[in-house]
Chains A and B, each alone.
Chain A
Amino acid sequence: MRAKPQPYVSTTNACKLCKPLGACLAFRGMEGAVPFLHGSQGCATYMRRYVISHFREPMDIASSSLGEKHAVYGGGPNLKLGLKNVMAKYQPGLIGIATTCLTETIGDDVPMLVKEFVRDFPEVIQEHGSPALVSVSTPSYSGTHMEGFHAAVAAAVAQLAAQGLPHDGIALFPGFVSPADTRYLKEILADFELQATVLPDISLTLDAPALVEYETLPSGGTPIPAIRALGGSRAAIEFGRTLEGQSSAGKVLHDRFSTPLHALGMPIGLRETDAFFSVLEALSGRGTPVNHELERGRLIDAYVDGHKYLFGARAVVYGEEDLVTGLTAFLAEIGVRPVLCASGGRSGRLAEAIRDVTQDLLPEPPLVREGVDFYDIAEEAEALEPEILIGNSKGYHLARKWGVPIIRVGFPIHDRFGGHRTLHLGYRGAQSLLDRIVNARLEAKQEASPVGYSYI
């Protein structure tokens, strides 16, 4: 179960993305925010293309566009110029400044540069509605996009949340989930009649309706005043079993304002969702609303209806560590046998998290691999004879090679339509995943059958 030492020096087909990309995605879920990369122009452009291809939404990321002389003399002047220009043209509510490997290595002190900017240009800032300035250190040479994502959320909380009046609201830090997931989470919270701030909230910013006016910045996102007021929250919920030991927004609130923190797994599948709902019950002082009870009941009914199509099916699950943990928990519940759980992340906690969510369900624990790429995954998986792959688009080449179905989840989904509308979380998300997995199995069986029954 322990992560084995990296056998290869080179990386082939990475199963991770770089840290600043995660930060940009997190900032995109804050109202009126412009993600801003302090580095060379290419980083912003590459990430925009990558993100747009999944969400099919505009994703403006500003850049300080550093050139050779800035790399030698420091990028400070360009950072400040870039901030002014973004304020002038976007009238943002927040600028989320993430560093890159270039600016980290040349030693630009971004928090200090931002302080100087605030000191030197108060009139510019005021003229443009005093946007919040949040900076986060995201050198691409350490960690993955998930560390970048969590660091950006934690930075926003650390730099904006103040010791305000205690209020009745709660904070929910879901991690990197889809716009559909975020919408559903907000619906659940509303049904519990809980006042909640979900941070970040990409439900509208990365899945916007067609509008009369072109929006230079998308509507939606977590309101900045709500982030500032997080210090007064009566409780916080944070998803991610592998987050333990890392700095995170939930821990910032807990450490700074003594906000009680409910650290939960990503609620995928029945039991992880039950854990989430039981926290909501405790926080709201009421039982689970009937519509959600019904969804839960239907889910279990569907577990039963589908179980024979799934039992013992060997699955390879890959992607971000917390997503993999949640998916594995769910797969174990429905009788699928996860044989390999893999991630490009390297939290050191994946194996334990997987064990915690599966140990009473699986006859033997799955192989867990941290810090791997798709070359490693292929090598490990081949002998395990997987029958189904569950993860993002980037595993498609393996599914094709092995002739097995792939269930596309997470990010990125670059080879299918509507990837950002994928629902993963809660009873409803589990229902959707279950239907897709059962149908993928049926389809594979039907297509391989010489008979071709249309009644199965």
Chain B
Amino acid sequence: MTTTVFHERQDQIHRKGEEPFQMACDRDSLAGAVSQRACVFCGSRVVLYPIADALHLVHGPIGCAAYTWDIRGALSSGPELHRLSFSTDLQERDVIFGGEEKLYQALTELIDRHAPKAAFVYSTCIVGIIGDDLAGICKKVAQEKGIPVIPVQSEGFKGNKRAGYNAACKAMFQLMGSGDTSSISPLSVNILGDFNLAGEIWIIREYFSRMGLQVVANITGDGRVADIQRAHAAGLNVVQCSGSTMDLAKMMKEAYGTPFLRVSYFGVEDMAESLYNVARFFESIDPEMMTRTRDLVREELTVLHPQLEEFRRALTGKKAAIYVGGAFKAFSLVKAFRLLGIKVVLVGSQTGTEEDYRELHAITDDGTIIVDDSNPLELSAFLQEKDVDIFVGGVKERPIAYKLGVGFCDHNHERKEALEGFVGMHNFAREVYSTVMSPVWRFVPRKASAGLIKCLDADLASPDPVEAVASNVSIG
């Protein structure tokens, strides 16, 4: 194990229970360590991408646009301009003589062709070096075309994904304040930090609608420019994926006084708690909302409870590992696994903060490995050491799990399965079940040779966590 971990990274790994909690994080990735992280551009691109009626033009060489073409499950109920990949495809001569003219022409051409409601122009590494005046060109085109044209300062090397989130938030903030707010009720919210993967934001919108709330803007799943332009008048910002859109919530609070709440829609506990917190926020204007919310949760749990039972019976006693981009998702996953009777033995993220890791430390069991900015060597070693049954991560983590003969659940932006909401918990349980219980592991040499194939008997004597959550949340 010690040979797997770089000396420089030892303080980015914590084993709960072995020493007092202390973890380093928010550092530049170590050269040569094969970090799973991406770049500033990636951070901006993931946040803004789902805004479906905007033009997203990547100003740079072709790779940055090519690798982000229609790879995510962020659905739109209307326009699908976001699914096209636009680039200025900078060439050597542009690098030498500057790319401003090409950018101007490309923007003009694409706006004429697609008539978008706004355009985002992403800066890339090379633009940061050659020093094109992105803001100047955007301003000029905005004037000529009469739509917002917004530069996104997302030069890849200027930090990590979090810096990209911030740049995206700044870009969206520029849109705000200009829309007509006359039809916005005080009982209204903006949904921040949901990207409508596999239609998830529609699930959440339906919950809010049942609670009696108007949703003003989706930020950014199934997002629309006009909604963002009037989002500042909503009664509350509900912020999921706090790493990506919290900066925007803070900017809105400062500029427009819009309050915000942190929420999570993953797992039964966090989903219910999020809805209750929102209902509680509006209690003074709508005292009945809490009742409606309780009814909603009860209805959903009545359906979900028996569905989960079967999975839980089979999965109790299994061990899980989690490695995700932002740590917020990990909090909910730890709880969701617990609900299924699964123990989390490894949890990590690419860009967690000290506060995030402290929280992970608080909610995990002794012996759990907590890791920041990990890499394939570490992850593969940890998975073996902890002998896990299921690994939750993204595409880059998948082959690590499979090569080790470990089940896998994709919880990243590429996934096409809705995992949010109560129905999402059912999907999640089914996905975990379908990978953990597959017969294929019996044939995997590593497991077969080590006699690691386990008995499928579940521990039925443990208390029923579903019951516990249902009774807890119904108290409100």
Contacts and interface: CB of A to CB of B under 8 A. Distances in A.
Given A105-B95, A214-B446, A394-B69, A52 B32 contact: no
B128 A71 contact: yes
B160 A41 contact: yes
Contact of B38 (A41, A58, A102): A41
Contact of B125 (A10, A40, A53): A40
Contact of B395 (A42, A49, A397): A49
B446 A42 contact: no
A213 interface: yes
A68 to B, nearest CB: 5
Contacts of B40: 42
A49 B125 CA distance: 19
A10 B86 contact: yes
B85 interface: yes
A5 B104 CA distance: 19
Given A89-B4, A211-B445, A12 B31 contact: no
A14 B70 CA distance: 12
Interface in A13-68: 13-14, 16-18, 20-21, 36, 39-50, 52-53, 56-68
A265 interface: no
A70 B376 contact: no
A40 B157 contact: yes
Nearest to B94: A141
Interface string A133-146: 00000011110100
Contacts of B384: 214
B398 A44 contact: no
Interface string A199-214: 0000000001011111
B28 A18 contact: no
Given A13-B84, A17-B66, A45 B126 contact: no
B24 interface: no
Interface string A114-153: 0000000000000000000000000111101000000000
Contact of A42 (B31, B39, B90, B129): B39
Nearest to A13: B85
Interface stretch (A77-85, A326-334, A442-450): A77-85
A18 B84 contact: no
Contacts of A190: none
A447 B29 CA distance: 53
Given A10-B86, A60-B376, A210-B403, A43 B63 contact: yes
Nearest to B105: A9
The CB with the most chain A CB atoms within 10 A, among B57, B64, B105, B159, is that of: B64
A82 B31 contact: yes
A65 B400 contact: no
B87 interface: yes
Contacts of B34: 44, 60-63
A248 B64 CA distance: 26
B445 A12 contact: no
A397 B395 CA distance: 22
A162 interface: no
Contacts of A36: 32
Contacts of B41: 42
A308 B66 CA distance: 39
A58 B42 CA distance: 21
B292 interface: no
Interface residues of A, number: 74
Contacts of A89: 4, 6, 32-33, 377
A105 B124 CA distance: 12
Interface in B186-218: none
A42 B62 CA distance: 14
B31 A58 contact: no
B125 A14 contact: no
B399 A65 contact: no
Contacts of A67: 28, 157-159
A344 B70 CA distance: 18
A59 B399 CA distance: 9
A216 interface: yes
A90 B378 CA distance: 12
Contacts of A66: 157
Nearest to A55: B399
A453 interface: no
A96 to B, nearest CB: 13
Given A14-B87, A67-B159, A102 B63 contact: no
Contacts of B42: 42, 45-46
Nearest to A89: B377
Interface in B267-304: none
Interface string A100-111: 111001100000
Contacts of B32: 36, 62-65, 81-86, 89
A8 interface: yes
A8 B6 CA distance: 48
Contacts of A212: 445-446, 449-450
Contacts of B30: 65, 81, 85
B446 A211 contact: yes
Nearest to B88: A10
B403 A14 contact: no
26 contacts: A9-B88, A10-B110, A12-B85, A13-B69, A36-B32, A41-B35, A41-B160, A42-B37, A44-B34, A47-B63, A48-B396, A49-B394, A49-B396, A52-B395, A52-B399, A57-B399, A58-B376, A58-B400, A58-B403, A67-B158, A71-B157, A89-B32, A142-B92, A144-B62, A214-B384, A214-B404
Interface of B: 4, 6, 28-42, 57, 60-71, 84-92, 94-95, 102, 105-107, 109-110, 124-126, 128-130, 156-160, 376-377, 380, 384, 394-396, 398-400, 402-405, 414, 443-446, 449-450
Given A53-B395, A212-B449, 10 more contacts: A13-B84, A39-B125, A46-B64, A56-B399, A64-B31, A66-B157, A68-B157, A142-B91, A211-B446, A215-B403
Nearest 6 pairs between A and B by C-beta?
A42-B39, A18-B63, A85-B32, A82-B32, A82-B31, A10-B106
